Amino acid sequence: KILIIGADGQVGKHLYSSAKKDGNFEVVGTCIDPENSQLSDFVYLDLTKPQTIKDAFELIKPEIVILCSAMTHVDNCERYKEEAWKINVEGARHIAENCKAFNCRLVFYSSEYVFDGTKGPYSEDDDTNPTSVYGKTKLEGEKIISNLKDSLIIRTTVVYSYEPEGKNFLMQVLRKGALKEKMNIVSDQYSNPTNAGELADFTLELIKLKKSGIYNVVGKDLMNRYYFALKICEVFNLDKTLISPELTANLNQMAKRPLKAGLKTDKIFSELNKVPSGAESSLIAIKNSL
């Protein structure tokens, strides 16, 4: 029995449908909007309200808990430090305490932002050194979660999928491209764009194999954001001339970004014998599924 915390978010939605399809799991999701909790397989849970967490655990009695909910907007985490800490650290702590009390395995999503981005791509064992509030909260969350026995920490990055209302990188480029809006996209931030559906499938596979510890689960191509945006335009037949490369230094972003980041997939490849697909094939698959 799996409880997906944040089943109304991008990764949560994909996990929910993948776990249902899989057939080996009984699946319940949580949502932050009390209205949606009228749905049969959804319960209301707010990470900043410990009582809602306890109530959900008592009601569902899960065996596996996957924590997808987090405050992920990197600049907002700088703007609203307390809120970021409350959700990403205290929230994770409350979830971990309940997992301990109810004896469940916990799966936690973390980020390449736990690194400073001076010498990526990084393996699971490389030294962390977050430079942003977001990165610091995720690392703090990792420390809390890793104290639980059998917990699984999955580091990922630049997660994208096709969701009309979505704010992920793919959707931002598609929306602006459709409106023929010019875009300045950073050409000096390197990462591995990761398909949300594949992230969900790999997560379930790691759960079934009872893996614990830290795993990088990211798309196999390391590329800068500008190149990724060009790939999106290529696959979706949008005008590539709308996109201009820009340096991070010129964007005056509140949070410091890791530039040479990205994550290595050697560990997951050695244990599962496969890695999530690269950007191009994944974008083509998304386009073909529409």
How sure is the predictor about 72, in pLDDT bands with cuts at 50, 70 and 90?
very high
Residue ranges covered by each domain of the chain: 2-161+195-219+264-277
91-102 helix and 50-60 helix, angle to the nearest 10 degrees:
30
How does pLDDT run across 199-208, given as a tens digit for each residue? 999 999 999 9
pLDDT of residue 39: 63
Residue 112 has pLDDT above 90, yes or no: yes
CA distance 142 to 92: 9
How sure is the predictor about 34, in pLDDT bands with cuts at 50, 70 and 90?
confident
Q: Which residues contact 272 (CB under 8 A, 6 or more apart)?
A: 202, 205, 206, 209
pTM over 0.95: yes
Catalytic residues: 134
Residue 33 has pLDDT above 90, yes or no: no
pLDDT of residue 124: 99
Sign of the four-CA dihedral 164, 108, 123, 201: negative
How does pLDDT run across 222-257, given as a tens digit for each residue? 999 999 999 999 999 999 999 999 999 999 999 999
CA distance 282 to 193: 10
The residues that bridge with 194 in the sheet, in sequence order, are 159
pLDDT of residue 37: 58
The CATH number of 2-161+195-219+264-277, from 3.20.20.140, 3.90.660.10, 3.40.50.720, 3.90.1150.10, is 3.40.50.720
pLDDT of residue 199: 99
- CA 271, chain centre distance (Å): 21
Buried b (16+ CB within 10 A) or exposed e, 12-39: bbbbbebbeebeebebbbbbbeeeebee
